[in-house]
């Protein structure tokens, strides 16, 4: 059994979901995504036994392109992240009633398929295809099932699409250029390529443009908050939980090993930029009125830190970044879900219109609180492991980076607690607020359980990703 | 050769069918005939031969492109059935003209002599003038026909002048002689002036900037099916012919000529895309999009020896997407006076399949992966970069970005806006053509090798 | 008349037809009367025909003259179609002024 | 065996937390209280067990639980270290913790969320234990942040009041500022020593000093001190502690007086071998400590909220402890931590008892004359007040006196500051005592009617703590210190046994006592003799007003830090974000503008089209034949 | 003599061509054009292409121009239909004319003059017989194509100009 099975299950899931009719769609999608999760667990098991789960077949001879998937620890970790979060996200949407649910869930499944492919692909061209492919479903999800004024939403979504598309096209140019040099899109061939300093610089920049927009690193982030706000929560979760990680993962998998010298050269600039994003995102988040927007900016701050970790080019940096990616994936999904739950009850996302929820719904409050705490990287949560490692790597690069980047723990606490206070605490709200339902509770419990368990015992994940990161580091150094 | 004869016979048969009152049978007969011809052509694939004093050449290039043209005509003829429902007495004429148009098209890619080239070109052009003006009662159609006719004849004159100069330099119209002359140092400058004028004429035919002005007006004014023909068949015929001419006449293209191609390519892409941003008529929008695609296709000329496959792939991808898009446009705008984008509002609700087809074809044109349009662009860009024109590649990239905007404008109109009219049934032919064309488009996207390795 | 080209030179024919061609271009740009524009196109085509015949003599080759036949056929066909379109325009518009055909733009 | 006991020690409060969170409602009010208390008592007994083991064997106990985080060159394990220092802390944390739990059963009985209260308290104990027993800095950091979290939860326990929530948030964020320093310190230490384990670091430091390490080490210790000053409320991060009095009084007693705020002292003591290497930083610590103690004491002079007075007193006492730490007298600091825990817990619980009796009244201007109605409370309160004022032979006298002595030996200026602070302490503590318990009752009639002594569950802890305030000094009597002896293995250098009791020392003691008596005397003359009652808020003028408003530090922080950040945030949100957005849309606008212009070019005029054609033709020909 | 004849004919050709495009009455234009065509036929004769000359006169003057004249008369266009042209058009047209003429002539002038001798192969290459052979042997396929072309034009002319029954 190789990793194609996961892709096939997800793709099949998308098709079956589409034909299953509006009523059954969500359940079918849940079923298939759960099966995909099971399959990826089996792959993981195989991998741990030392069996190679990669797949490779000739796709085109002219130009020379292979359909090749590589399943090392890093890729598997990200695939697992995707296949874990997808069922959770689908489950979280059970309280919503979407028009045309079959289309919606089919798109969700398709997006999961594309993102999984992105994580697995080891041929640059294939990777690019999956990368772009994941854009289309989210475009439609945000456009058709989003909220707010239709015209503004359309504007935000098309901006998002064009912006990210623009970035990735430059990456495509980079890939074509590399292909001219290497005669292949294969990962190892590209790794082995000897490029001149100028070439590396431009290749690095071409990739950076794509990733900086996707991640996003400031000042390329302007699409983010609006799309997060306008998209339906499921879409926001997919975007923030998984899709951002595509960019970060790609930095580790593609950009750094292909252009290591340029990365070394630009280290300070780019780490600096990423860290500036941390501060910027945090400060902007402080005074947001819209809960989803606030979370979007918090996400901006967090991924800025992760990106900074990636670009330090140290083992700790890369490892911490991957850990933090996973942790952030979970926590942000949880937080957006909390926002969605409030929206389901109060029909508002404006923080000022909330407040006083705690006394009505203790369970929800506790769960939300834990997620908030995880997001501010309280020790004991998985986020702390990642953030600590990343900050340590920043420190190894430069003390100032660590100090400035470290302000995230202050500012993060600042805006998150401020939000929590305004949204949840205070005099009991006049509007009734039902506590979490069973379905909702399950999602929270799973996410929280994951965060706490791996916060105390991250070893399995660390052991899974470390060898592949070391492999990559060999090419970077 | 047999292809050409068969097509001519089929055209005459159409005309005869009208005489014998077999009007109903015309389209089925034609479709069947075209299918047979297609089969026949494909079997010729590996032969390389020339007929009648090298008037007609058959090789992989001609067979591949001829097959594509036949396929496109097949689609167009199928669409005709419903499109000309209200003008039953003219069906035979329309179909016959389309078949003869195909004849001209096939002649244009399989010529071995400039006389054949010129006559093929004129058959194609005149057929199109007629088709463009084929709604005599509509002033728009008149205007389109007139504009196209005047400018097309003008371009024909320029091409003819070029041919004359080449004849003056080579003393023959035979392509083999011309090829030799182009590679010999002794050839006089007349030859190059001639090449230059033919180039300009062909640039007009593929609607490259600054010879593109006719395209939007004519596309908009002509009846929709004619626009479909022009934007798919006619455009790629011209492109293929241009490519073939360049191979024969410009084997060792000099740098200045390449520069001209680069500049025109960049301008075509940019002007086409930017102008398309503000269009409200979908045919007009597609005209501009076609101009930008012409710019992309021109890139193939910069790496002549390697790009045949890429070009073929590109034109196939582009035309299949175009046919699919026009099938939907015909369905939506059949009973309307124009083709405003607002008619597409809510198509996603009224008719999800057709909306999906149109979305897919627009995505393909925009170059979004898994649709073949992406691969087409990728292959072309790859070859261009191989030829060392990074600047052109970047211009192409930027233009792809711009193009996304207007393609997505239509897509989002289909899905987000409320329909402004009741649902109407989809004619069977439109449905079949749309699905088939987009299916083929996606299929060649999944298996690009099947076309890339042909040439 | 055997050696007309020896006396006049093929270049002179070139210049002549180039000029004639230019006049055709001039006409088509200058006039807005569709019929006159057609005539201008005919002038252009004739310029080319003249050139072809000159070259044919220059090369002592018949194919140039044969090509002229095709060119004439094309000219005839074009005129036929062009006039047909013109007639329908005249029916609709009562005029053949090209300047009235500006509805398609933008 | 040891592992399971360690787990019991750790998990007992955690289990208490979980069961209170999940089943607290079902257990009923008393039930959840008892459960919570039991959990801590279990931990207390386990601590006692370990204490007896370690003090017997003098061998620290090391327990490896599991691997945790791997970093580049080393990995961090979840290990437990039970040595003399951690056990000492464990004892008084769990001991005082147990007492306060007992107290809370009654004190919080009327609160609907009492099960949550106990859950949080248990969680706090759990984290405090983690903090204390961790064998490396990162585990300490877990506990460190964890207690911060519990502090946040408990300060904001009455979450319907947004002011309380503000206070909670402030506490958490201020702590986080310190935590960043702590984290950076951890990084530097990890970088220098490739480990975070205390014992390994200690070995590395003791066996050989790496010269290049020194510069970094100063930064590291400074950063750690910043961390400590956040948690232990030193200048400039002290302002959260007085606000933290928003929480229920047992919380103030447990977290914000006895245990959590001493975590900073614990950490510095734990790492004494590092601080010893960086005298510059030690000096900074001493100065900061002294100034904090003076500033806080001066603010305490005029406060009218009973808990606020105690809060500033806590800050002031913590300052004294830091002074001792800065002077290298770690064992003295520890001594004062312990005695302070006794009498300050007693004071807070006593004030809680008073507040309880007055149904939430905290303003001393509305109290008075309570000694009749609340005898036990008054008595224990008096003992504790005497202890904090430094009257022999109460516990506070010995510990405070040792600090003053050390200061006198090391630096006279610091000694003067500390002495002044001590005098002030005596004054405001007795001011508090007089205003609360003496003279006439100044509250409403209804309150007066309901005045009563608190129930047994409240007075029992008071009595225990009162006794401890009296006798607590015995653990480190001058000249014959059990504590110093006990802690010896912890320190890199031998404790300051230098002050054998000579003339100077006796002089100093006498001076301290006299100073305290002067303070008491002033208070007596003001509030008993002249029966003064502090003025209402609006009537306070002059320097007193500055003091009353805490030197306007909160306002300054607000104006200098918080407000600018808010404005920046608004500015970024309203201008920069939209601006950046507009730049992107700008590209679109440019293309759009071009499209509009282009539409004019596409004018439908065939003449123009032909002209363009001709022009293009000519350009191409011209370029190809004349320009190449 | 031939030279003189050539220049006279050339003058007539260019002059009538210019008159064609300048004359305001379409009928006059047509008549000038016919004269122009005759002069071109004269050129053909000069070049010894008698058959072509005759065909030329028949096709152009006899067929095409008659067609045009018919159309003009059919539409009753002998009056001046054209409005006053804006200056811009005149300027643009003149510029275009000058450009084309200059560029073409300059390009042609720049080419090396033909120095090799004009040869007379002596073989007959332009008699009717030879032309017929070339046309129907070598150029048989294009010839057929030309017929297709005319067929298309015929169908098209009918298609466009035949009045249709009014559509529903």
Phi, psi dihedrals of residue D281, rounded to the nearest 5°: -65, -35
What was the pLDDT predicted at D210? Answer: 62
What is the Cα–Cα distance from A382 to A374, expressed in whole angstroms? 7
What is the Cα–Cα distance from A433 to A356, expressed in whole angstroms? 9
Q: Are C47 and C21 in contact (CB under 8 A)?
A: yes
Q: ipTM higher than 0.95?
A: no
Rg value, chain B, Cα: 21
What was the pLDDT predicted at A147? Answer: 85
Strands A55-60 and B49-51: unpaired
Taking residues B69-75, report their average pLDDT.
95
Which residues lie across from D136 on neighbouring strands?
A: D197
Contacts of B452 in chain A (CB under 8 A): 60, 62
Among A80, A27, A87, CA closest to A443:
A87
What was the pLDDT predicted at C1? Answer: 46
What is the Cα–Cα distance from D210 to A82, expressed in whole angstroms? 47
Low-confidence ranges of chain D (pLDDT < 50): none
What was the pLDDT predicted at E168? Answer: 41
CA atoms within 13 A on the CB side of D53: 16
- The average confidence (pLDDT) of chain B is 91
Break chain E into its structural domains and give their ranges: 1-84
Instruction: Kindly state the helix (H) or strand (E) to which residue D342 belongs, with its residue range.
Output: helix D330-357
List subunits contacting chain C, requiring 3 or more Cβ pairs under 8 Å.
B, D, E
Instruction: Kindly state the helix (H) or strand (E) to which residue D614 belongs, with its residue range.
Output: helix D606-622
Structure tokens at D442: 């100044």
Do chain A and C touch: 3 or more Cβ pairs under 8 angstroms? no
- Beta-carbon separation of B210 and D610 below 8 A: no
Which D residues 392-451 touch C at CB under 8 Å? none
Peptide bond into A63 cis (omega under 30): yes
In which band, very low, low, confident or very high, does the pLDDT at A118 lie, cut at 50, 70 and 90?
very high
- Beta-carbon separation of D627 and B254 below 8 A: no
Among B293, B209, B208, B302, CA closest to B253:
B302
What are the start-end ranges of the E strands in B76-226? none
Taking residues B71-100, report their average pLDDT.
91
* Long-range CB contact pairs, D441-448, < 8 A, 24+: D441/D367, D441/D368, D441/D369, D441/D370, D442/D365, D442/D366, D442/D367, D442/D368, D442/D369, D442/D533, D443/D358, D443/D361, D443/D366, D443/D367, D443/D368, D444/D366, D447/D358, D447/D359, D447/D361, D447/D366
What was the pLDDT predicted at C3? Answer: 66
Query: Kindly report the CA angle at C74 between C72 and C78, in degrees rounded to 5?
Result: 120
Q: C29 lies in which domain range?
A: 1-94
Among B265, B191, B192, CA closest to D624:
B192
- Beta-carbon separation of C60 and E75 below 8 A: no
Q: A324 lies in which domain range?
A: 269-477
What is the Cα–Cα distance from A320 to A323, expressed in whole angstroms? 5
Q: pLDDT, tens digit, for every residue of A319-366?
A: 999 999 999 999 999 999 999 999 988 888 898 888 888 888 888 999
| D481 vs B226, more confident | B226
Q: How many domains is chain C partitioned into structurally? A: 1
Q: Are A322 and A310 in contact (CB under 8 A)?
A: no
Ramachandran assignment for D439, one of left (phi > 0), alpha (psi -120 to 50 degrees), beta (any other): left
User: What proportions of chain B, in percent to the nearest 5, are helix, strand and coil?
Assistant: 80, 0, 20
Which residues lie across from A381 on neighbouring strands?
A: A379
Structure tokens at A115: 């993102």
In a domain, C104, yes or no: no
Structure tokens at B314: 């590109």
Closest-approach residue (CA) in chain B for C37: B150
Q: Are A309 and A320 in contact (CB under 8 A)?
A: yes
DSSP D379-418: HHHHHHHHHHHT-TTSHHHHHHHHHHHHHHHH-HHHHHHH
Dihedral sign of CA atoms D195, D199, D202, D203 in order: negative
Query: Kindly report the CA angle at D407 between D405 and D412, in degrees rounded to 5?
Result: 115
In a domain, A415, yes or no: yes
Interface residue of C34, C35, C67, C87 to substitute, partner B, most B CBs within 10 Å? C67
Residue with tokens 């930083």: D281
Q: pLDDT, tens digit, for every residue of A243-261?
A: 999 999 999 999 999 999 9
The share of chain B scoring above pLDDT 90, in percent, equals 66
DSSP D134-181: BSBHHHHHHHHHHHHHHHHHHHTSSTT-HHHHHHHHHHHHHHHHHHHH
Interface residue of D596, D598, D607 to substitute, partner C, most C CBs within 10 Å? D607
Q: pLDDT, tens digit, for every residue of E94-144?
A: 888 888 888 888 887 777 666 566 677 777 777 888 888 898 988 999 999
Distance from CA of C26 to the nearest CA of B (A): 12
Q: In a 3-state reduction of DSSP, which class is residue D619?
A: helix
Mention every residue, 6+ apart, whose C-beta is less than 8 A from residue D77. D64, D65, D66, D67, D68, D135, D136
* CB proximity B118 to C under 8 Å: yes
CB-CB: which of B390, B401, B412 is closest to A162?
B401
CB-CB: which of D599, D612, D624 is closest to B260?
D624
CB-CB: which of A225, A380, A391 is closest to D187?
A391
Q: Are D396 and D339 in contact (CB under 8 A)?
A: yes
Query: Kindly report the CA angle at D163 between D158 and D164, in degrees rounded to 5?
Result: 35
Distance from CA of B278 to the nearest CA of D (A): 6
CATH of the domain at C25: 1.10.287.3510
Q: Are D505 and D512 in contact (CB under 8 A)?
A: no
CA B417 to chain centre: 32
Which residues lie across from A56 on neighbouring strands?
A: A68
Interface residue of D621, D623, D624, D628 to substitute, partner E, most E CBs within 10 Å? D621
Q: pLDDT, tens digit, for every residue of A183-223?
A: 899 998 999 888 899 999 999 999 999 999 998 998 889 89
- The average confidence (pLDDT) of chain A is 91
CB-CB: which of B386, B394, B448 is closest to A173?
B394
Closest-approach residue (CA) in chain D for C100: D605
What is the Cα–Cα distance from A88 to D373, expressed in whole angstroms? 61
Query: Kindly report the CA angle at C89 between C83 and C93, in degrees rounded to 5?
Result: 145
Q: Which fold has domain E1-84?
A: 1.20.120
Residue with tokens 């392509």: B175
Break chain B into its structural domains and give their ranges: 265-455
Q: Are A76 and A469 in contact (CB under 8 A)?
A: no
Interface residue of A18, A19, A63 to substitute, partner B, most B CBs within 10 Å? A63
What is the Cα–Cα distance from B329 to B346, expressed in whole angstroms? 14
DSSP chain E: -HHHHHHHHHHHHHHHHHHHHH-SSHHHHHHHHHHHHHHHHHHHHHTT-HHHHHHHIIIIIIIIHHHHHHHHHHTT--S--PPPPPHHHHHHHHHHHHHHHHHHHHHHHHSPP--SPP----S--SSHHHHHHIIIIITHHHHHHHHHHHHHHHHHHHHHHSPPPPP-
- Beta-carbon separation of B374 and A162 below 8 A: no
Taking residues B345-360, report their average pLDDT.
91
- Beta-carbon separation of C103 and D604 below 8 A: yes
Distance from CA of E119 to the nearest CA of B (A): 13
């Amino acid at each position: 059994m190789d990793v194609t099975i996961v892709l096939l299950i997800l793709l099949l899931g998308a098709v079956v979901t589409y034909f299953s009719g509006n009523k059954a769609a969500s359940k079918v999608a849940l079923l298939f995504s759960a099966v995909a999760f099971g399959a990826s667990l089996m792959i993981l098991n195989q991998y741990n036994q030392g069996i190679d789960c990669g797949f490779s077949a000739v796709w085109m001879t002219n130009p020379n392109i292979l359909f090749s998937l590589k399943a090392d620890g890093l890729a598997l970790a990200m695939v697992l992240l995707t296949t874990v979060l997808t069922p959770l996200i689908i489950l979280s949407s059970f309280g919503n009633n979407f028009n045309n649910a079959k289309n919606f869930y089919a798109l969700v499944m398709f997006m999961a398929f594309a993102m999984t492919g992105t994580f697995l692909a080891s041929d640059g061209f294939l990777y690019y295809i999956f990368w772009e492919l994941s854009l289309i479903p989210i475009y439609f999800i945000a456009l058709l099932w989003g909220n707010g004024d239709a015209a503004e939403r359309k504007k935000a979504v098309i901006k998002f699409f064009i912006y990210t598309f623009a970035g990735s096209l430059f990456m495509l140019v980079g890939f074509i250029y590399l292909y001219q040099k290497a005669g292949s899109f294969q990962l190892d061939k590209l790794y082995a390529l000897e490029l001149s300093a100028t070439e590396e610089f431009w290749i690095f920049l071409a990739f950076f443009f794509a990733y900086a927009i996707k991640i996003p690193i400031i000042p390329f982030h302007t699409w983010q908050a609006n799309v997060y706000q306008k998209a339906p929560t499921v879409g926001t979760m997919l975007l923030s939980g998984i899709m951002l990680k595509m960019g970060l993962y790609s930095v580790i998998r593609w950009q750094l090993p292909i252009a290591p010298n340029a990365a070394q050269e630009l280290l300070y600039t780019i780490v600096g930029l990423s860290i500036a994003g941390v501060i910027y995102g945090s400060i902007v988040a402080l005074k947001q009125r819209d809960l989803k927007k606030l979370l979007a900016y918090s996400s901006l701050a967090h991924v800025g830190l992760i990106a900074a970790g990636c670009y330090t080019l140290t083992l700790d940096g890369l490892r911490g970044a991957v850990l933090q990616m996973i942790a952030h994936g979970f926590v942000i999904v949880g937080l957006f879900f909390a926002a969605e739950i409030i929206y389901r009850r109060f029909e508002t996302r404006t923080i000022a219109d909330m407040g006083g929820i705690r006394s009505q719904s203790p369970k929800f409050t506790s769960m939300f609180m834990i997620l908030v705490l995880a997001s501010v990287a309280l020790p004991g949560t998985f986020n702390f492991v990642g953030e600590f490692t990343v900050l340590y790597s920043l420190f190894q690069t430069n003390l100032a980076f660590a100090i400035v980047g470290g302000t995230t723990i202050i500012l993060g606490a600042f805006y998150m607690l401020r939000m929590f206070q305004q949204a949840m605490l205070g005099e009991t709200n006049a509007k009734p607020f039902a506590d979490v339902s069973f379905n909702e509770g399950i999602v929270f419990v799973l996410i929280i359980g994951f965060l706490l368990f791996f916060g105390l015992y991250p070893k399995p994940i660390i052991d899974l990703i470390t060898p592949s990161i070391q492999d990559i580091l060999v090419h970077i150094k | 050769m047999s292809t050409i004869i068969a097509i001519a016979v089929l055209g005459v048969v159409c005309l005869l069918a009208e005489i014998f009152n077999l009007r109903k049978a015309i389209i089925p007969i034609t479709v069947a005939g075209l299918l047979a011809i297609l089969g026949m052509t494909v079997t010729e694939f590996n032969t390389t031969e020339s007929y009648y004093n090298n008037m007609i050449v058959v090789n992989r290039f001609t067979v591949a492109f001829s097959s594509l043209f036949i396929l496109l005509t097949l689609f167009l003829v199928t669409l005709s059935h419903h499109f000309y429902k209200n003008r039953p007495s003219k069906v035979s004429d329309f179909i016959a003209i389309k078949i003869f148009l195909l004849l001209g098209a096939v002649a244009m890619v399989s010529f071995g002599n400039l006389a054949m080239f010129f006559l093929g070109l004129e058959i194609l052009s005149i057929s199109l003038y007629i088709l463009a003006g084929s709604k005599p009662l509509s002033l728009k159609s008149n205007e389109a026909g007139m504009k196209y006719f005047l400018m097309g004849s003008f371009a024909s004159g320029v091409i003819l002048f070029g041919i004359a100069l080449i004849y003056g330099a080579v003393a023959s119209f035979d392509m083999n002689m011309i090829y030799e002359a182009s590679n010999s140092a002794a050839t006089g400058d007349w030859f190059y002036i001639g090449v230059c004028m033919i180039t300009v004429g062909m640039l007009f035919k593929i609607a490259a900037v600054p010879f593109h002005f006719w395209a939007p007006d004519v596309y908009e004014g002509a009846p929709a099916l004619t626009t479909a023909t022009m934007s798919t068949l006619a455009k790629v015929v011209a492109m293929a012919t241009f490519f073939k001419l360049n191979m024969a006449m410009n084997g060792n293209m000099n740098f200045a000529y390449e520069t001209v191609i680069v500049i025109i390519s960049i301008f075509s892409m940019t002007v086409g895309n930017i102008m398309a941003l503000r269009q409200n008529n979908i045919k007009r929008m597609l005209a501009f999009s076609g101009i930008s695609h012409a710019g992309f296709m021109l890139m193939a000329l910069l790496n002549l020896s390697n790009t045949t496959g890429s070009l073929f792939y590109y034109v196939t991808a582009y035309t299949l997407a175009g046919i699919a898009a026009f099938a939907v446009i015909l369905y939506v705008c059949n009973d309307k006076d124009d083709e405003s984008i607002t008619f597409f509002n809510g198509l996603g609700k009224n008719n999800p399949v057709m909306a999906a087809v149109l979305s897919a074809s627009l995505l393909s044109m925009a170059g979004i992966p898994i649709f073949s349009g992406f691969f087409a662009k990728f292959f072309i860009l790859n070859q261009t970069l191989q030829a060392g024109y990074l600047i052109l590649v970047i211009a192409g990239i930027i233009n792809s970005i711009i193009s996304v905007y207007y393609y997505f404008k239509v897509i989002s109109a289909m899905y987000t806006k409320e329909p402004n009219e009741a649902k109407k049934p989809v004619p069977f032919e439109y449905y079949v053509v749309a699905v088939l064309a987009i299916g083929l488009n996606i299929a060649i996207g999944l298996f690009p090798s099947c076309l890339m390795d042909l040439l | 008349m055997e050696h007309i080209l020896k006396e006049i030179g093929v270049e002179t024919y070139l210049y002549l037809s180039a000029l004639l061609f230019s006049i055709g271009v001039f006409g088509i740009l200058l006039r807005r009367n569709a019929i006159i524009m057609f005539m201008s196109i005919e002038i252009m085509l004739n310029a080319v025909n003249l050139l072809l015949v000159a070259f044919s003599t220059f090369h002592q080759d018949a194919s140039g003259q044969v090509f002229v036949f095709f060119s004439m056929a094309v000219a005839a066909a074009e005129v036929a179609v062009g006039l047909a379109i013109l007639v329908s325009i005249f029916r609709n518009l009562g005029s053949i002024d090209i300047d009235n055909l500006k509805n398609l733009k933008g | 065996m040891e592992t399971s006991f360690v787990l019991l020690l750790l998990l007992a409060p955690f289990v208490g937390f979980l069961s209170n969170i999940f089943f607290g409602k079902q257990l009923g009010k008393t039930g959840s209280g008892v459960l919570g208390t039991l959990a801590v008592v279990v931990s207390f007994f386990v601590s006692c067990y370990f204490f007896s083991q370690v003090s017997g064997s003098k061998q620290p106990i090391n327990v490896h639980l599991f691997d945790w985080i791997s970093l580049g060159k080393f990995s961090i394990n979840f290990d437990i270290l039970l040595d003399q220092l951690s056990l000492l802390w464990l004892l008084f944390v769990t001991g005082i913790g147990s007492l306060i739990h007992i107290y809370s059963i009654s004190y919080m009985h009327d609160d609907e969320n009492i099960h949550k209260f106990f859950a949080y308290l248990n969680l706090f104990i759990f984290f405090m234990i983690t903090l204390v027993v961790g064998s490396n800095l990162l585990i300490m950091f877990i506990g460190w942040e964890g207690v911060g979290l519990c502090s946040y939860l408990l300060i904001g326990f009455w979450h319907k009041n947004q002011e309380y929530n503000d206070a909670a948030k402030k506490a958490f964020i201020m702590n986080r500022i310190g935590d960043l320093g702590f984290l950076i310190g951890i990084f530097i230490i990890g970088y220098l020593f490739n480990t975070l384990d205390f014992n390994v670091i200690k070995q590395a430091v003791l066996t050989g000093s790496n010269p290049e390490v020194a510069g970094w080490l100063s930064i590291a210790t400074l950063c750690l001190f910043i961390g400590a000053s956040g948690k232990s409320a030193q200048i400039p991060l002290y302002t959260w502690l007085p606000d933290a009095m928003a929480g229920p009084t047992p919380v103030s007693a447990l977290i914000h007086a006895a245990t959590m705020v001493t975590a900073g002292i614990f950490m510095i003591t734990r790492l004494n071998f590092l601080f010893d290497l960086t005298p510059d930083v030690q000096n900074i610590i001493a100065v900061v400590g002294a100034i904090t103690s003076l500033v806080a004491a001066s603010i305490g002079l005029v406060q009218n909220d009973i808990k606020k007075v105690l809060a500033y007193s806590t800050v002031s006492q913590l300052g004294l402890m830091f002074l001792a730490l800065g002077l290298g007298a770690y064992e003295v600091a520890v001594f004062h931590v312990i005695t302070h825990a006794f009498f300050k817990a007693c004071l807070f619980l006593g004030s809680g008892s008073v507040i309880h009796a007055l149904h939430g009244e905290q303003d001393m201007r509305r109290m008075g004359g309570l000694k009749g109605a609340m005898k036990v409370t008054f008595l224990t309160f008096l003992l504790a007040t005497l202890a904090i004022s430094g009257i022999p032979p109460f516990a506070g006298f010995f510990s405070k006196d040792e600090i003053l002595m050390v200061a006198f030996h090391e630096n006279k200026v610091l000694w003067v500051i500390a002495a002044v602070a001590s005098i002030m302490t005596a004054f405001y503590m007795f001011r508090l005592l007089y205003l609360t318990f003496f003279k006439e009752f100044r509250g409403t009639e209804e309150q007066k009617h309901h005045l009563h002594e608190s129930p047994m569950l409240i007075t029992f802890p008071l009595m225990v703590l009162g006794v401890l305030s009296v006798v607590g000094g015995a653990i480190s009597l001058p000249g014959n210190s059990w504590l110093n002896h006990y802690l010896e293995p912890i320190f890199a250098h031998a404790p300051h046994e230098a002050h054998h009791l000579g003339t100077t020392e006796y002089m100093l003691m006498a001076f301290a006592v006299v100073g305290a008596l002067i303070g008491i005397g002033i208070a007596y003359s003001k509030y008993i003799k002249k029966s003064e009652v502090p003025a209402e808020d609006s009537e306070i003028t002059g320097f007193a007003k500055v003091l009353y408003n805490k030197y306007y530090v909160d306002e300054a922080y607000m104006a200098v830090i918080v407000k600018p950040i808010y404005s920046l945030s608004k500015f970024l949100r309203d201008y920069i974000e939209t601006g950046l957005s507009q730049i992107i849309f700008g590209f679109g606008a440019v293309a759009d503008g071009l499209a509009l212009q282009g539409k004019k070019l596409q004018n439908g005029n065939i003449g123009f089209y032909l002209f363009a054609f001709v022009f293009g033709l000519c350009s191409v020909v011209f370029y190809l034949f004349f320009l190449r | 003599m031939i030279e003189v004849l050539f220049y006279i004919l050339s003058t007539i050709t260019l002059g009538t061509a210019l008159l064609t495009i300048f004359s305001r009455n379409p009928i006059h234009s047509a008549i000038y054009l016919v004269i122009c065509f005759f002069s071109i036929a004269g050129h053909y004769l000069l070049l010894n292409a008698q058959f072509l000359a005759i065909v030329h006169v028949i096709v152009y003057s006899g067929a095409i121009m008659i067609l045009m004249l018919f159309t003009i008369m059919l539409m009753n266009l002998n009056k001046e239909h054209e409005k006053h042209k804006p200056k811009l058009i005149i300027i643009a047209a003149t510029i275009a004319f000058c450009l084309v003429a200059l560029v073409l002539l300059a390009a042609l002038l720049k080419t090396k003059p033909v120095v090799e001798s004009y040869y007379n192969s002596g073989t007959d290459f332009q008699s009717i017989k030879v032309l017929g052979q070339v046309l129907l042997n070598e150029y048989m396929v294009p010839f057929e194509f030309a017929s297709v072309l005319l067929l298309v034009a015929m169908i098209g002319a009918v298609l466009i100009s035949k009045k249709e029954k009014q559509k529903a």
